[in-house]
């Protein structure tokens, strides 16, 4: 039982946080973290704590899909590399992540039209506080695009290879569904490439 939980949800804590997030979703408390104006999105910005596992992987998947994208960490060291376990999990999924380097929130340049996609409800609330009502960017939970929705994508850092694979599979699914839902983000990427 414990091994199955660790493989699917990371830890007992990961399962509990997911269940709590489902409760908040059911009673409407996560409404502020749903995408309201998809037509305004010009770039996807993936956000987690350290920008070395989940958001780093999401950025590489989005880049492979031809999307305008970036990623950042809410509390990290800019320039830090991803851990070997994350690199290996990405490689198993056919995604190269070796060139990724973390970017801290304070070093990141937000742009109008950014959609910030976080992994956890508590990260969404912290980012909402930091944005202080900024109206030219939007904020959502990346797991909303999983099927079924996963409002909490638990951090795989230091956890098992099995959970890394499960987490990255969910992230990949969400990013690909986003790509289908927001075709203008691919167009924005193509336009930027054309300018370069």
CB burial of residue 193 (10 Å; 0-12, 13-18, 19+): exposed
- Say what the pLDDT of residue 133 is: 79
Domains, the chain, with CATH or none? 2-195 (3.40.50.2300)
Asked if residue 121 lies in contact with residue 152, where contact means CB atoms within 8 angstroms, the answer is yes
Instruction: Give the pLDDT score at 195.
Output: 56
Q: How confident is the model at residue 2 (pLDDT cuts 50, 70, 90)?
A: confident
Q: Is pLDDT above 80 for 194?
A: no
Task: Show the tokens assigned to 172.
Answer: 């990949």
Q: pLDDT tens digit string along 111-156? A: 999 999 999 999 999 999 999 978 999 999 999 999 999 999 999 9
- Given a contact cutoff of 8 angstroms between Cβ atoms, the answer to whether 84 and 60 are in contact is no
Selected residue with higher pLDDT from 133 and 41: 41
Q: Which of 116, 169, 166, 159 is nearest to 138 (CA)?
A: 116
pLDDT at 1 over 90: no
Longest Cα–Cα distance of the chain, Å, equals 53
Q: Helix 84-92 and helix 161-181: axis angle, to 10°?
A: 60
Residue 192: the pLDDT is 64
The answer, yes or no, to whether residue 196 has pLDDT greater than 80, is no
Angle at 122 between CA 121 and CA 126, to 5 degrees: 120
Q: Is the whole model's pTM more than 0.85, yes or no?
A: yes
> Averaged over 2-11, what is the pLDDT?
91
State the virtual CA torsion across 141, 184, 113, 48 in degrees, nearest 10: 30
């Amino acid at each position: 039982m414990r091994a199955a939980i660790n493989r699917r949800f990371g830890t007992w804590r990961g399962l509990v946080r997911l269940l709590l997030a489902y409760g908040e979703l059911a009673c409407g408390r996560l409404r502020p973290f749903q995408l309201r104006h998809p037509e305004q999105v010009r770039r996807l910005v993936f956000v987690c704590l350290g920008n070395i596992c989940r958001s780093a992987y999401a950025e590489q998947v989005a880049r492979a899909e031809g999307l305008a994208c970036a990623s950042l960490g809410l509390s990290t060291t800019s320039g830090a590399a991803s851990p070997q376990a994350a690199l290996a999990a990405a490689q198993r999924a056919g995604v190269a992540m070796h060139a990724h380097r973390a970017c801290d929130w304070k070093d990141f340049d937000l742009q109008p039209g950014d959609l910030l996609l976080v992994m956890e409800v508590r990260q969404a609330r912290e980012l909402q506080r930091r944005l202080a009502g900024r109206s030219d960017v939007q904020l959502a939970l990346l797991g909303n695009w999983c099927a079924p929705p996963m409002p909490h994508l638990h951090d795989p850092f230091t956890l098992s290879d099995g959970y890394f694979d499960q987490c990255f599979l969910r992230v990949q699914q969400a990013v690909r569904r986003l790509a289908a839902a927001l075709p203008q983000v691919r167009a924005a990427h193509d336009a930027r490439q054309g300018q370069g």
